[in-house]
């Protein structure tokens, strides 16, 4: 299947599910369970179709941006101090100075 044909099928699925969701929202009685199921199912199909269309485009930029984020955090932030605070937080030795001391009960 060619890329153009797959894109056409995905876009028609997207527009169809948006149309179903709009028609159900404006005309149907939402007190019936089948109406609510159709309403939510068309919304889920629409969101999944949109992800199928957009995810391959953004995936390569996501990987590149995560690499840049790691490099800049290692180069420009005080990495050792941050890691020290994180390890203290996990060990439970980092105290919050805003907390009031608790009184012991007899």
Whether the predicted pLDDT of 5 surpasses 80: yes
Number of domains forming the structure of the chain: 1
Mean pLDDT of 88-105: 64
pTM metric for this prediction: 0.42
Say if 104 falls within a structural domain.
no
Say if 98 falls within a structural domain.
no
82: domain range? 3-91
DSSP 17-84: HHHHHHHHHHHS-TTSHHHHHHHHHHHHHHHHHHHHHHHHHHHHHHHHHHHHHHHHHHHHS-HHHHHH
Say if 99 falls within a structural domain.
no
Whether the predicted pLDDT of 94 surpasses 80: no
Query: Tens digit of pLDDT for each residue in 68-84?
Result: 777 776 676 666 676 77
Query: Tens digit of pLDDT for each residue in 32-79?
Result: 888 778 777 777 777 777 777 777 777 777 777 788 777 776 676 666
Q: Which two tokens stand for residue 43?
A: 């919304």
Say if 68 falls within a structural domain.
yes
């Amino acid at each position: 299947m060619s890329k153009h044909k797959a894109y056409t099928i995905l876009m028609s699925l997207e527009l169809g599910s948006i149309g179903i969701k709009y028609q159900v929202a404006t005309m149907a009685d939402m007190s019936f369970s089948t109406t609510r199921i159709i309403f939510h199912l068309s919304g889920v199909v629409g969101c999944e179709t949109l992800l199928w269309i957009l995810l391959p485009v953004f995936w390569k930029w996501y990987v590149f941006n995560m690499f840049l984020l790691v490099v800049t955090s290692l180069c420009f932030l005080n990495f050792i101090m941050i890691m020290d605070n994180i390890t203290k937080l996990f060990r439970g030795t980092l105290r919050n100075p805003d907390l009031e001391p608790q009184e012991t009960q007899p």
